[in-house]
Chain A
Amino acid sequence: MIDAILNAAPAWALSHAAPLLIMVPLFLAPLLALVPTGRIAWIISIAATGISFLFALILLGLVQTSPIGVVSYEVGRWPVPLGIELRVDALNAMILLIVTTIGLLSSIFSWPTVVAEIPKQKRALFYSAFLVCFAGLNGVAITGDAFNLFVFLEISSISTYVLVALGSGRDRRALPAAFNYLIMGTIGASFYIIGIGFLYAATGTLNMHDISTHLPELAGHRSVQAGFAFILVGLGLKAAMWPLHQWLPNAYSYSPSFVTMFLSATATKVALYALIRFLFTVFRPDYGFEISAFSAILMPLGIAAMVVCSFQAVFQTDVRRILAYSSVAQVGYMILGVSIGTTAGLSAGLFHLVNHAMMKGALFMAVAGVVLTYQGTTIRDFAGLGRSAPWTMTAFAIAALSLIGVPLTAGFQSKLQLGFALFDQGLWWAVGLVVFSSFLAVIYMGRVLEAVFFQPPVNPRKARKEAPILLLIPLWVLALANLYFGIAADFPLGLARDAAAAAFGVEAFR
C-alpha cells in the first residue's frame, strides 16, 4: 500500500512531506478560530488530520526506500547545524504514523462527544486547539533540533491544558486537573530546556545529530551528565514515568472524552519517543552514566509503575481512572523494555507503544460512548451494558483482553516480545513481575467486564442504546486492529524493530 501511495504522490508532496505534515494542521488551526460553526471546524480537522496521515505514510515509505534510512529536510534551506532540520528515520516515522492515525480516527469519532460536552460557541475554538496540539505532537516527533523540540513540546502542552480545562462543562474538577497539569508540565519543560542549555554549553550546537557526534569526546564532562539528568527527568515527567505521573489520572479523568482518548493514545507516547531519542541517538546506551541510569533508575521505575499503578487501578471505581492508572502501568512496560538496553528490548518497548495506542484508544472510545449515552463512568454505571450496548461493549472487551494480554490479541504479542527480551538478558525475575502485573490487569479489567456482561443493569430505564455510528466505526477499526495484529504482528513488529535499529544506528535486523 505504501508503494502505491509513493507512486501516486506528486513530486512536491514527496520532497516537502516533512514540513507539510506539521504545516497543514498548524496553519488550519487559526483558520478554525474564524469558522462560524463547530460542524465545519470538525470537517476541516478531519481533513487536516487525514492529510497529515497521508504525509506520514509517504514519510514512512520514503524512509523505508531510502538507502540510508533517513529523510532530512532543512527548513528554509538553512544548512545544518545552523538551521532547523526535520529528520525522519524509522523511529519517528513510526511515531508519526501512530499520532496521525489516532488523530484521524479520533477526529472522526469526536463530533458526537463534542456536541454533548462542549458549549456551542466554543466548539470551533476547541477544534482549533486540537489541531494545534496535533501539530505540536507531530512537531516533537519530526524535528531534528533539540530546541525546536522544546518549542513543539510547549505548543502541544499549552493547547493540551486548554483542551483539558474545557472538560469543566461536564465536571468542574477539570479546572484543577488542568492547572495541576499546567504546573507539572511546565516544570517538565523547564527541566528539559535546562538540560538542553547544559548540552549547548558543552557542544555548542542544538542539532541532535550534531550533538551526538560531539558527545563521545565529552563523555566525562560534568555539564553533559547534568544535562542528561535534567532531560531524563523533564521528559520522564511528560511521559508520565512513575513517580512523575501524578498529573495524569486527574487530567485523563476529567477532560472531555475526546481529549482523553486522543491524549492517552498519543501524548505520553510522543514524550516517550523524545526520551528514547535522547537515550539512544543523542546519548549512546554504552555511556557509563547511561548504563547506570538504565539499571538504577529506569528499570526500577518501570517495574514500580507496572506493579504500583496496576494495584492503584484495582482500587478505583471510576472506569476512566482505572484506565488512566493502567496507562501509567503500561508506560512502565515500555520503560522496562527501553531499560534493558538491547535492540530486542527497545523494539519490544516500541512494539508495546504501538499496541498500547491501539488498545487504550479503543478503550477510551468505548468509554466515551458510554459517557455519551448513559452519562456515567463508574463501574456501577457500566453494569449490564453488555446487553444494552453490545457493539460498543464487545469492542471494549476485545481491547480489554488485549490490555490484559490474552493470546490472539496485540497485547499478547508485545508481552511475548518483552518476555523474550527479558529472558534474553537473564532477567527472569522481571518476567515474573510482568506476569504479576498482567494478573492485576486481569483483576481491574475483570471487574469492569464482569459488571458489563454479568451484572443486571442498575438503572432499569437503560433500554438498548448503542453509541452513535460515528463513534462505533473508529472504535471497531481499533478493536479489529487489536485482533488482526494479535494474529499477524509482522507489520507493527517490523516497524518497531526497524525503529529500534534506527535508534541504535545499526542496520535493520528484520
Chain B
Amino acid sequence: MSPETLILAALVLPLLIAAGIAVMGWSPNLREGVTFTGAGVLFVVIILLAMHVAGGERPELNLGQAAPGLSLAFKLEPLGMLFALVASGLWIVNSFYSVGYMRGNRERNQTRFYICFAIAIFGALGVAMSANLFTLFVFYEVLTLSTFPLVTHKGDAAAKRGGRIYLLTLMGTSIGLLLPAVMWTWVLAGQNLDFVPGGLLAGVDISPAVASALLILFAFGVGKAALMPVHFWLPNAMVAPTPVSALLHAVAVVKAGVFTIMKIAIFIFGTDLLEATPAREFVLWVACFTMVVGSLIAMTKDNLKARLAYSTIAQLSYVVAGAMLADPAGWLGGSLQIAAHAAGKMTLFMCAGAIYVATGLTNISDMRGLGRKMPLVFIAFMIGSMSIIGLPPFAGAWPKYELMQGAIDHGNVYLSLVLIVSSLLNIAYLLPIPLLALLPPPGTKEPKPFKRPDGAPMPTVVAPLITATLCIILFFAVGPLSDFLAPTVGDRVDYIADGGQP
C-alpha cells in the first residue's frame, strides 16, 4: 500500500472502529473484538508508516481545502510518528485493560465509552500527522470534545463539575489564546500555516516583542500541555474512569498538548527565532516553576489519582522546557520524554485502577501492606515510579539526561538544578507508595479483604506489567529512537564533536 493510502487508513480506521463498536453494542464480546482487531490493525498501519518515515520519506495527504489557503492536510515526520506510535500502541494495551476494569467495576454505558475512546484516538492521530497549524487545531478540538463524555462518564454531580471545568478550560484557552495565535501566525507568515522544517517564521522579520507575545499565546493557549496556571483541568479530569486517565490524561490528550508545543517550537519558530525571542526564557521559567510546584502539590495529595495527576503536570513541563531550549539536545530530550513518560505514567494509572477494582481503595494511606496481596501490581508500580524518577535502566533516564545536557549547553544551568530537585521530589512522593505496600513496617494493620472475591481481574494486572516492560525496553532502544528522531530535532554530530555525548 502506498503511504498516502496508509495515512488515510490511519484516519479512517478509528472512525470505522467507532462505527463498528456502535453496531456491535448489543454484544459486549463482539464489541470488544471490534476494538481489539481494529486497534491491532491500526497499530500495524502506524508501524508501516513509521517504516516509511524511517526510510527518509515524508508522505503527504491533502484532504482538500476547508477554505482557500486552509487545507486539511497531513504530512508525516518522525516526531509525529513517535506520538502516533505511542498513542496507537498503548491504545491496544489500554483496551485490554479497559475490558477488565469496566466489567470488573460494572460501569454503565460501556458502548458509548468505547466509541468516544476511538474518536479520541482519531483526534490524537490527526494531531500527530497534521501538516499545518489549522489541521492541528481542528483535531486538537476534536480531541477535547470527544473526551468530554469520557470525563463525565459517571454522570454524577462531581463528574459533571469536573467535565465542565475540563471543557471550559481547554476550550477557553484554545479559542481565547491559541486561535488568535494561529490567526496571527497566518498573517505574519504571509497566509501560510504549514509546518516547515527550520521554522515557518524563520525568514520573516518579526520584532522580539511580537515573537514574545506570540510564543506566550501559544504556550498558554495549548491548555493540554498543562503549564501552570492552566493546569487545573487535569486534576479535575480525574473523575473519569481510570482507563481514561491512563490513556488520555497520561498519553493522548496531554501528550497532544506538549506535542503541539514541540511542533510549534520546531516547525513554526525554529531554532534561530526561538533563540531571539525574549519570552522563551519566561516560558522556560514557568515550566521550571510548574515542575517544582506540581511535584510539591503532588506530595500533599493522599488520593492516588490526584497525586499522579499533579505528577503528570510536573512531568509535562519537561517537554515544554525541552522545547524552549531550542537546541537538538533539548528537543530530543523533550521528544523522548513524550514516549518515556507515556509508558511510565500509564503503568502507574493502570496500577491505581487495578487497586481500585480489587479493593475500592483510592487513598495512599490505606494501601500499606497491600503489596503482599497484589505483588505484581506493585512491582509494576515500582518500575513505573523508577522510570518517572529517571533511574536507569528505565526509559525516564534518557530524557532527563538529554535535557540536562541541553540545559548546560545552552547556558540555562538552573534548569539542570530544577531537574535534579524535581527528581528528588519524585522519589519522595512516588517511591514510598510501592515500598510501603510491598515492605510494610512492622505493626501495620492487615489490609481490608478484597471487594471482589477474586481480586483484580487478570487484564488489569497484565496490562501494567506490559507497559512496565516497555519502560525497560525503551531504555535500551534509545539509540535507534534517537536516530529515528534526528531528522526532526536536528543533527547531534556537532555535539559528539564537542565530546558531550556518550
**B180 and A439 contacting across the interface, CB-CB below 8 Å:** no
A269 to B37, CA, bound (A): 52
Considering the complex, give the chain B residue whose CB is closest to the CB of A414. Answer: B67
Q: Does A454 contact B (CB under 8 A)?
A: yes
Q: Does A171 contact B (CB under 8 A)?
A: no
* B171-192 Cβ-contact flags toward A at 8 Å (1 or 0): 1100110011001101100010
Q: Does B60 contact A (CB under 8 A)?
A: no
**B183 and A497 contacting across the interface, CB-CB below 8 Å:** no
Q: Does A489 contact B (CB under 8 A)?
A: yes
Which of A128-136, A300-308, A376-384, A418-426 lies on the face that meets chain B? A418-426
Q: Does A413 contact B (CB under 8 A)?
A: yes
Determine the chain A residues whose CB is within 8 A of the CB of B171 once the complex forms: 406, 442
**A431 and B180 contacting across the interface, CB-CB below 8 Å:** yes
**B183 and A420 contacting across the interface, CB-CB below 8 Å:** yes
Identify which of A406, A435, A442 contacts B180 (C-beta below 8 A): A435
Q: How far is the CB of B190 from chain A (nearest CB, A)?
A: 10
Q: How far is the CB of B494 from chain A (nearest CB, A)?
A: 38
**A423 and B186 contacting across the interface, CB-CB below 8 Å:** yes
**B160 and A454 contacting across the interface, CB-CB below 8 Å:** yes
**B184 and A423 contacting across the interface, CB-CB below 8 Å:** yes
147-191 of chain B: CB within 8 A of chain A? 160, 168, 171-172, 175-176, 179-180, 183-184, 186-187, 191
Q: Does B142 contact A (CB under 8 A)?
A: yes
**A424 and B187 contacting across the interface, CB-CB below 8 Å:** yes
Q: Does B66 contact A (CB under 8 A)?
A: yes
Q: Does A468 contact B (CB under 8 A)?
A: no
Determine the chain A residues whose CB is within 8 A of the CB of B138 once the complex forms: 407-408
419-465 of chain A: CB within 8 A of chain B? 419-420, 422-424, 428, 431-432, 435, 438-439, 442, 454
**B65 and A488 contacting across the interface, CB-CB below 8 Å:** yes
**B176 and A407 contacting across the interface, CB-CB below 8 Å:** no
Q: Does A185 contact B (CB under 8 A)?
A: no
Q: Does B137 contact A (CB under 8 A)?
A: yes
**A408 and B141 contacting across the interface, CB-CB below 8 Å:** yes
Q: Does B68 contact A (CB under 8 A)?
A: yes
**A413 and B180 contacting across the interface, CB-CB below 8 Å:** no
A124 to B64, CA, bound (A): 48
A256 to B226, CA, bound (A): 49
Considering the complex, give the chain A residue whose CB is closest to the CB of B188. Answer: A423
Considering the complex, give the chain A residue whose CB is closest to the CB of B155. Answer: A454
**B142 and A419 contacting across the interface, CB-CB below 8 Å:** no
Q: Does A77 contact B (CB under 8 A)?
A: no
A439 to B168, CA, bound (A): 10
A422 to B66, CA, bound (A): 20
Determine the chain A residues whose CB is within 8 A of the CB of B64 once the complex forms: 488
Determine the chain B residues whose CB is within 8 A of the CB of A428 once the complex forms: 180, 184
Q: Does A197 contact B (CB under 8 A)?
A: no
Determine the chain B residues whose CB is within 8 A of the CB of A416 once the complex forms: 67, 70, 179, 183
Given contacts A419-B180, A420-B186, A428-B180, contact A413 B141 (CB under 8 A): no
**B67 and A432 contacting across the interface, CB-CB below 8 Å:** no
* A390-414 Cβ-contact flags toward B at 8 Å (1 or 0): 0000000000000001111000010
**A489 and B66 contacting across the interface, CB-CB below 8 Å:** yes
A419 to B175, CA, bound (A): 12
Determine the chain A residues whose CB is within 8 A of the CB of B184 once the complex forms: 423, 428, 431
Determine the chain B residues whose CB is within 8 A of the CB of A413 once the complex forms: 66-67
Determine the chain B residues whose CB is within 8 A of the CB of A423 once the complex forms: 183-184, 186-187
Given contacts A407-B137, A428-B184, contact A419 B179 (CB under 8 A): yes
Q: Does A165 contact B (CB under 8 A)?
A: no
**A435 and B68 contacting across the interface, CB-CB below 8 Å:** no
Q: How far is the CB of B186 from chain A (nearest CB, A)?
A: 6
Given contacts A413-B67, A490-B65, contact A432 B141 (CB under 8 A): no
**B68 and A487 contacting across the interface, CB-CB below 8 Å:** no
**A489 and B67 contacting across the interface, CB-CB below 8 Å:** yes
Q: How far is the CB of A482 from chain B (nearest CB, A)?
A: 14
Q: Does A359 contact B (CB under 8 A)?
A: no
Considering the complex, give the chain A residue whose CB is closest to the CB of B164. Answer: A450
Q: How far is the CB of A12 from chain B (nearest CB, A)?
A: 36
Q: How far is the CB of B143 from chain A (nearest CB, A)?
A: 11
A454 to B149, CA, bound (A): 12
A428 to B191, CA, bound (A): 16
Considering the complex, give the chain A residue whose CB is closest to the CB of B134. Answer: A416
Determine the chain B residues whose CB is within 8 A of the CB of A442 once the complex forms: 168, 171-172
**B67 and A435 contacting across the interface, CB-CB below 8 Å:** no
**B180 and A432 contacting across the interface, CB-CB below 8 Å:** yes
* B60-82 Cβ-contact flags toward A at 8 Å (1 or 0): 00001111101010000000000
Q: How far is the CB of A157 from chain B (nearest CB, A)?
A: 35
**A487 and B66 contacting across the interface, CB-CB below 8 Å:** yes
Given contacts A407-B141, A408-B141, A454-B160, contact A490 B68 (CB under 8 A): yes
Determine the chain B residues whose CB is within 8 A of the CB of A495 once the complex forms: none
**A435 and B179 contacting across the interface, CB-CB below 8 Å:** yes
Q: How far is the CB of A420 from chain B (nearest CB, A)?
A: 6
Q: Does A92 contact B (CB under 8 A)?
A: no
**B68 and A510 contacting across the interface, CB-CB below 8 Å:** yes
A413 to B138, CA, bound (A): 11
Residue among B67, B175, B186 having the largest count of chain A Cβ atoms under 10 Å: B67
Given contacts A408-B141, A510-B68, contact A431 B183 (CB under 8 A): yes
**A408 and B142 contacting across the interface, CB-CB below 8 Å:** yes
Considering the complex, give the chain B residue whose CB is closest to the CB of A450. Answer: B164
Q: Does A417 contact B (CB under 8 A)?
A: yes
Determine the chain A residues whose CB is within 8 A of the CB of B175 once the complex forms: 405-406, 435, 438-439
Q: How far is the CB of B164 from chain A (nearest CB, A)?
A: 8
Considering the complex, give the chain B residue whose CB is closest to the CB of A428. Answer: B184
Determine the chain B residues whose CB is within 8 A of the CB of A439 once the complex forms: 172, 175-176
Considering the complex, give the chain B residue whose CB is closest to the CB of A497. Answer: B68
Q: How far is the CB of A441 from chain B (nearest CB, A)?
A: 10
Considering the complex, give the chain B residue whose CB is closest to the CB of A351. Answer: B67
Determine the chain A residues whose CB is within 8 A of the CB of B183 once the complex forms: 416, 419-420, 422-423, 431
Determine the chain B residues whose CB is within 8 A of the CB of A510 once the complex forms: 68
Q: Does A493 contact B (CB under 8 A)?
A: yes
57-111 of chain A: CB within 8 A of chain B? none
Residues of A within 8 A of B (CB): 405-408, 413, 416-417, 419-420, 422-424, 428, 431-432, 435, 438-439, 442, 454, 487-490, 493-494, 497, 510
Known: A419-B179, A423-B186, A431-B180; 7 extra A-B contacts, CB below 8 A, are A423-B183, A423-B187, A435-B175, A435-B180, A442-B172, A490-B65, A510-B68
> What are the nearest 7 A-B pairs in CB distance?
A419-B183, A423-B187, A407-B141, A489-B67, A493-B67, A424-B187, A407-B138
Q: Could you write out 29 A-B pairs with CB less than 8 Å apart?
A: A406-B171, A407-B141, A407-B142, A408-B141, A408-B142, A419-B180, A423-B183, A423-B184, A423-B186, A423-B187, A428-B180, A428-B184, A431-B180, A435-B176, A435-B179, A435-B180, A438-B176, A439-B175, A439-B176, A442-B171, A487-B66, A487-B72, A488-B66, A489-B66, A490-B67, A490-B68, A493-B67, A493-B68, A497-B68
